[in-house]
Structure 1
Amino acid sequence: MPASAIEEAAEQHAGSLLEMRSCRRLAAALVLVAPLLAALGQWTDVDLVLADWLYSRASACFPWRDAWLTATFGHEILKAGLALLAACFVALAIADALRPQAPLDRPLARLRLRVIACSAVLVPLATSLLKQASSAHCPWDLARYGGNEPYVRLFEALPAGILPGHCMPAGHASSALWLVSLVVWWLPGPGRGAWRAACLALAPGLVLGWMQQMRDAHFLTHTLWSAWIACAIVLALVMLLQPSGGTVRRAPAGTRCRAR
C-alpha cells in the first residue's frame, strides 16, 4: 500500500480532518490576509469607487435598493432559506448528541456535522456582535449618498457628536458565509478538491454581500471582512473539535486502517 494512502487512512482512523501543520499554515494565511483587508479599506477608495458606480446621481438614489431581486429575493427569501438550512444542521447535530444517529456512526461524519452546525450558529453570531462594536456607517447613511453621516475609514475616529453606525462587517452576507464550513466534507482529502469546494461554498455569501452593496447597505470591505471571519471561525472549530488537535497517528508499514 503506498505511504500516502497509509497516512490518509491513519488520519481518518484518528478522526482528524486536518493535521496540525496544515491548520497552522491556514491560520498563518488568515493572519497575513487581515492587514491586507485593513489596508484595502484604510488606504484605497475601492469602497467609494464601487458605491459611486452603483449610485445614480441623476435620481439621487441607488436604483437597486428596492428592486425585487435584491430587496425581496436576496434580503428576505434567500436569507429565510439559509436560516432554515442552518436550523436543520443544528437540529441534526443536537439530535445526534442526544441520541447518536446510525448514519453518523463514523467519527469523521459526526465531526463534520458538528463543525457545520457550530459554524451555522457562530458565524452569524460573531458577525452580529462585531457589528455592534463598529463605528462604520452604511453607505445609505452617508452624506455622500443623500444621508447625514460622514464617511470614516477603519482606523479613523468618529467626529464629535456622531454616533456609531454599527454597519461593519456585513451581517446579511454572514447568513450564507457559514456555508464555507461545508468544505469539511472534502477533508481529509486532496487539497485541490478542498480549495475548490471552499471557493464554491463562499460564493453564496459573496453574492449576497454584492446584492447588499447594490442596495447601498454595505461596502465591499464589509463583505470581505465577513468572509474572513467565517473562514477563521471554521478553521478554529476544526482545530478545537477534532481529537488531539489534528495530530495524525501514522500507521505501521503494511497496515490498513479504515474510518469507523
Structure 2
Amino acid sequence: MAQTLRPRPLNLWLYLGIPLATVVALLLLEMTSLDMNVADLFFDQSAGQFIGRHSYVLENILHDRVKQGVILFGLLSIVGFAASFVFKRLYGWRRELGYLVLALGLSTAFVTPLKQLTQVQCPWSLTEFGGKETYSKLLDVRPATDKPGLCWPGGHAATGFCLFALFFVLRDRKPRAARAALVMAFAAGSLLSLGRMMQGAHFLSHNIWTAVFCWTIALSCYYLVLYRPAMAHTPARTGAGLAQSR
C-alpha cells in the first residue's frame, strides 16, 4: 500500500510573522522619505522623465506580455480544474487545482477595489516628477484633485507575486519544487515591481504592500482549502505499518 499523502505541519508563526513584520516596517516607512528617495534614483532630471517611461522592453514585454502570460496560466488552471472532474489522472490534483484557481483569482482581484478606495497618485503624476498632482502618503488625507490617483497597491506586481500560490500547491507533494516556485514567484514579482518603478508607475512601498497581500491570500486559501491540521500531526501509516498493527 502506498503512503497516504498528508499535509506537512504548518508553522503559522513563521508564515504569518514575516508579512506582519513587513506591515509594521511599511507603516514606519510612512514617517520617512524613502519612497521619494528611491523614485528619484529612476528620474532623469535632464530629460524631465523617468528613465523607463517609454521603454519598449518594460512596457511591451515586462508589462503587457508577462501579464498576458499570467492570465493565460490562470485560464489553464481553470481548464485543469474543470478537467479534473472528467479525467481520472487529474482527480488526485483536484483540490490543488481548485486552490490555484481561487488563490490566483483573489490575488489579482483585490487590486482594483483598493486602488479606487485609496486614490494614491503615481510618481509620474506628481509635481516633483514633472506632473501636476500633489504628493501624499498612504495614510495622509488626499489633496483636492480633478483626477484621483489609482496607484496603491501595485497592480503589476501582483502579476508576479500571485504566483506565491504555486508554492502552496506543491508544498505537501513536492517540497523541493515548492521552494523553487517560491523563489521564482518572489523574483518575478520583484522584477516586475522594479520595471514599473523605473517607469514611474509606482513607489517601492506600493509593490511591497502587494507582496504582503498576495502572500496572505495564498496562505489563507491554502489553510482553508488544502491544509488538514489533524492529518499533518498524525504519523504517516504505510502498508508495513498497517500490517504490524493488525
TM-score (norm 1): 0.81
- Which residue is 2:131 aligned to? 147
Map 1:145-184 onto structure 2 (within 5 A). Answer: 145-160=129-144, 164-184=148-168
Amino acid at match of 2:89: P
- Which residue is 2:235 aligned to? 250
Larger mean Cα displacement after TM superposition, 131-140 or 190-199: 190-199
* Distance in 2, Cα, partners of 1:160 & 1:76: 32
Contact 2:197 2:204 in 1 (8 A): yes
- Which residue is 1:3 aligned to? none
Contact 1:172 1:209 in 2 (8 A): yes
DSSP 3-state at the match of 1:26: helix
- Which residue is 2:109 aligned to? 125
Q: Deviations over 1:111-153 (max 9, x none)?
A: 3222222122111101222222113100011111111111111
Deviation at 1:45, TM superposition (A): 2.1
Is 1:77 matched up with 2:62?
Answer: no
Identity of aligned residues (%): 25
- Which residue is 1:204 aligned to? 188
Q: Deviations over 1:68-107 (max 9, x none)?
A: 11111122112112211111112211332xx24322232x
Deviation at 1:196, TM superposition (A): 4.7
* Distance in 1, Cα, partners of 2:17 & 2:120: 27
Q: Deviations over 1:144-193 (max 9, x none)?
A: 11111111112211234576412101111212221111113441279787
Residue from 4, 8, 27 that aligns with 1:38? 27
* Distance in 1, Cα, partners of 2:111 & 2:130: 27
Compared with structure 1, are the counterparts of its residues 130 and 64 closer, same or farther at alpha carbon in structure 2 (3 Å cutoff)? same
Contact 2:100 2:166 in 1 (8 A): yes
Deviation at 1:206, TM superposition (A): 1.6
Residue from 225, 232, 244 that aligns with 2:209? 225
* Distance in 2, Cα, partners of 1:149 & 1:225: 22
* Distance in 1, Cα, partners of 2:207 & 2:22: 14
Deviation at 1:222, TM superposition (A): 0.8
| Count of matched residue positions in the alignment of Structure 1 and Structure 2 | 239
Q: Of the two structures, which has the highest relative contact order with CA contacts closer than 8 Å and spacing of 6 or more?
A: 1
Residue from 77, 95, 111 that aligns with 2:83? 95
Unpaired stretches in structure 2, ≥5 consecutive residues:
none
Contact 1:38 1:154 in 2 (8 A): no
DSSP 3-state at the match of 2:163: helix
* Distance in 1, Cα, partners of 2:16 & 2:184: 20
* Distance in 2, Cα, partners of 1:75 & 1:229: 20
Contact 2:153 2:209 in 1 (8 A): yes
Compared with structure 1, are the counterparts of its residues 194 and 81 closer, same or farther at alpha carbon in structure 2 (3 Å cutoff)? closer
Compared with structure 1, are the counterparts of its residues 204 and 252 closer, same or farther at alpha carbon in structure 2 (3 Å cutoff)? closer
- Which residue is 2:218 aligned to? 234
* Distance in 2, Cα, partners of 1:103 & 1:208: 35
* Distance in 1, Cα, partners of 2:154 & 2:230: 31
Compared with structure 1, are the counterparts of its residues 242 and 185 closer, same or farther at alpha carbon in structure 2 (3 Å cutoff)? closer
